[in-house]
Chain A
Amino acid sequence: MSIPADLKYTKSHEWVKVEADGTVSVGITHHAQDLLGDMVFVENPAVGRKLNAGEECAVVESVKAASDVYAPLAGEVVAANDEVESSPEKINQDAYGAWMFKIRPASPADVNALLDAAAYEAHVASEAH
């Protein structure tokens, strides 16, 4: 599956989308869900929580394993998606559509430091050994 060019990425396999209102949506990549397999549990951060970049802030669990989700950048959680919590399989069905939570970035320019699609693709390839 191709990696959407309009999103940004982290080495820990989160994707980030800049919304029109200046907040960013965060989810896990198609590659990440493929590694984990069938999703059965999602725990999102509480709305209002202040996050540091790289901080563990959510958990996704598949039948197989639990995996931490890290904050791609610093900011405040402004929304959490109940839909993926009640139906975690949405992440398997459409990883880039199933956002988990939204952050209002402390510094909007931080987004520029994240990986673009080409850099993320190279990162995935390097991990495949």
Chain B
Amino acid sequence: MTDLKRTPLNATHRELGAKMVDFGGWDMPVNYGSQIEEHHTVRSGCGLFDVSHMLPLDLKGENVRAFLRRLVANNVDKLQVSGKALYSCMLNEDGGVIDDLIIYYMDETWFRLVVNAGTAEKDLAWMQKCNADWNMGLTLTPRRDLAMVAIQGPDAKRVLNEALPGADSLTETLKPFNAAAMGEMFIARTGYTGEDGFEVMVLAKSVPFFWKALMEAGGKPIGLGARDTLRLEAGMNLYGQDMDETTSPLESGLAWTVDLKTERDFVGRKALEASEVTQQLAGLVLLDKGVLRSHQKVFTKNGTGEITSGTFSPTLQQSIALARIPLGIAPGEEVDVEIRDKKLKAKVVKYPFVRNGKVLI
């Protein structure tokens, strides 16, 4: 058995009585009691997530924009104002997804990326290889000295302002999908819940104090269990489930993140343009009782598909899923899902299912 990696908040989670699990090699809190209560807290109040297992990466050098133009599928030329963020996939030559990431533009010699925990080493190796092969001369610095806390929910801004005196001048003006650096502190108005909120990076040694201040201001700790039900209600993809190196972003509900309008040559573009798109990612709501889970088979009039992520939605009080199904199946149509030995009825819906506390389906 290998030792699990620990975030700088590990002792804090244990003091709070969290149930800890092995999450891709990291010892992480899955809940602090009831996952469903934690879910509702984020939709109605303010939740705190330790997301320090994710890796911030600083890319610095003269060629950083040119490097990212070629490295990722979305177009970093959309980033012209300091602090602006962009969500993108990083593809392999076959057009499969190596990872999905967020890119923050700070200045012409500094972009910050945040990548998934489980793919961090692979991503870094790939970027270093591209940096060398393309003679870009960049410096790639993994920032394991930083911890990251997500503060999410309708009450997130008040909690952050109270925990961080002086933050209000920033939080009042920071627009969604924008960030600002204040010394080593980095505040982004981003998240993975479908609610307003912030993702804040601070030095690892300071994060236990920051967390405590956020809790004193009314933020409640939320585990990775609720993080998954929140992101699925918000219709946000999870790497490794909804897409991976074998799937095309165009068949994973991520066409909106792939820039094929400009002439820009990026890794995976040729393969994507040569491929035929035959599947789509669709939302499902289970009409019968039960719970949709990943890998369950979906039967449609155009052929079979598969659930990529499924759960019980605490907001909708019924089961929801993302599923990769054949093209030509429209919202409103019914499909069958095989659960154990039964076929149950589900309805195809346009997702997200929930945004800003409101049911959208």
Contacts and interface: CB of A to CB of B under 8 A. Distances in A.
Contact of A59 (B19, B30, B36, B340): B340
User: How large, as a class, is the contact surface on chain B?
Assistant: 10 to 19
Given A63-B225, A64-B225, A41 B291 contact: yes
Contact of A40 (B19, B30, B31, B312): B312
B34 A66 contact: no
Interface centre among A37, A63, A66, by most chain B C-beta atoms within 10 angstroms, is A63
A38 B289 contact: no
Contacts of A59: 340
B1 to A, nearest CB: 9
B119 interface: no
A37 B34 CA distance: 7
B10 interface: no
Contacts of B357: none
Interface residues of A, number: 11
A63 B232 CA distance: 12
B35 A38 contact: yes
B293 interface: yes
Given A37-B225, A59-B340, A66 B293 contact: yes
A9 to B, nearest CB: 22
B311 interface: yes
B290 A63 contact: no
Contacts of B290: 41, 43, 61
B35 to A, nearest CB: 5
B61 interface: no
B293 A63 contact: no
Contacts of B225: 37, 63-64
B35 A61 contact: no
Contacts of A43: 289-290
A64 B30 CA distance: 10
Contacts of B229: 63
Interface of B: 19, 30-31, 34-36, 225, 229, 289-291, 293, 311-312, 314, 340
25 contacts: A37-B19, A37-B30, A37-B31, A37-B34, A37-B35, A37-B225, A38-B35, A40-B291, A40-B312, A41-B289, A41-B290, A41-B291, A41-B312, A43-B289, A59-B340, A61-B290, A61-B291, A63-B35, A63-B225, A63-B229, A63-B311, A63-B314, A64-B30, A66-B291, A92-B34
Given A41-B290, A63-B36, 16 more contacts: A37-B30, A37-B31, A37-B34, A37-B35, A37-B225, A38-B35, A40-B291, A41-B291, A61-B291, A61-B312, A63-B229, A63-B312, A63-B314, A64-B30, A66-B291, A92-B34
